[in-house]
Amino acid sequence: MTEITFDLDKIRSDKILSGTLYWHKKSGTTVIGNCGDLVNIDLVEKLHSGGSVLSLESIADLDLINKHITNFEKLRESDDELSRHIIRKEVISDFSDIFINNVKSGSQIDWWQICFQTFYDLPEDLENKIAGNSLIIYKRAVAVSSLTVLMAFSLGYLNYSFLKDLYNSVFITDLELFEESNFAPHTFRQLEHGRVLSLDEGIGGSYVSKSSLIKANLKKVNVENEAIYSMIRYHHENLATGQGPFKIYESEVGDLPSLYTLVQKIYPYTEIKCEKDDARGVLMSFFKENKRYIKIKKIFEAEFKQAA
């Protein structure tokens, strides 16, 4: 059930819109933000202070969001494996029933908000660089970071600090490409085309040369982890066919690169339109439609029967 409200403080603190944001004028209603967008807080504050009527038609499940933000807060404070596994069981029960088993209603924005409010910690200059270049890519980063962390958590990565590092590292993926003077979002689509079909050697070679900057960029979010570095470095690969900038296969890398390329496949470099219940069966459908990603699929089959 959608809820129509306007709470400036919550919109300011959330940063990511949980629904459609409307500006009600005498001449009609204008959409000034869509679900999952990074809110234009300067515009919202200006309109609000000027007496404009605004409303947010939220599709978020606040109970679910608050429940699992609390669970991840408990994970942050946990210092033993037993309590971490108990927390995992509670989070993954809802996650799997929505994304895999398709037996519960649920929207992606709920899980984006859970992860964003829990793990997001980008310096303002990096946030501005990504959002300033492409709000579409920023929104995609919200989606990809969230699902990557949730799937890693499902696979048994239970250390809060690692999950936070993972989230923020994924968020700044391809930052080195943003720093090119001739950067355009089309560059990402060319790399994605290479994963699906064939890669232009010039684009692939350019990415390989730029990948030397990945470790330096990870340090900008205080991450120095070889597993995460490897995951980021190989995320444009087609691990099933050995196509991509580095021409490597799934059997040559660990589970994190396999997981990450899978999530990249779920979210192409296009505008993501959030809708009510759009998370239902997302992973189950993906596993059924894609015969590749064998390593990750086998792990999920053992844990979640509906993934088979």
How many H-runs (helices) and E-runs (strands) does the chain carry?
Answer: 16, 4
**pTM summary value:** 0.90
Which tens digit of pLDDT belongs to each residue from 206-249? 667 677 888 999 999 999 999 999 999 888 777 777 777 778 88
Pairing of strands 28-33, 53-58: unpaired
- Is residue 159 over pLDDT 80? yes
Domain ranges for the chain, please list them. 3-58, 62-307
pLDDT at 142: 97
pLDDT band, very low/low/confident/very high, at 53 (cuts 50, 70, 90): very high
**Residue 280: Cβ within 10 Å count:** 20
CA distances from 146 to 143, 181, 184, 263, 273 (A): 5, 29, 24, 10, 16
Pairing of strands 53-58, 3-5: antiparallel
Residue whose token pair is 């679900």: 35
Under 8 Å CB-to-CB from 161, ≥6 apart: which residues?
A: none
CA distance 112 to 57: 17
pLDDT at 57: 95
3-state class of 283 per DSSP? helix
Residues of the chain with pLDDT > 90, as a percent, come to 58
CA distance 136 to 212: 25
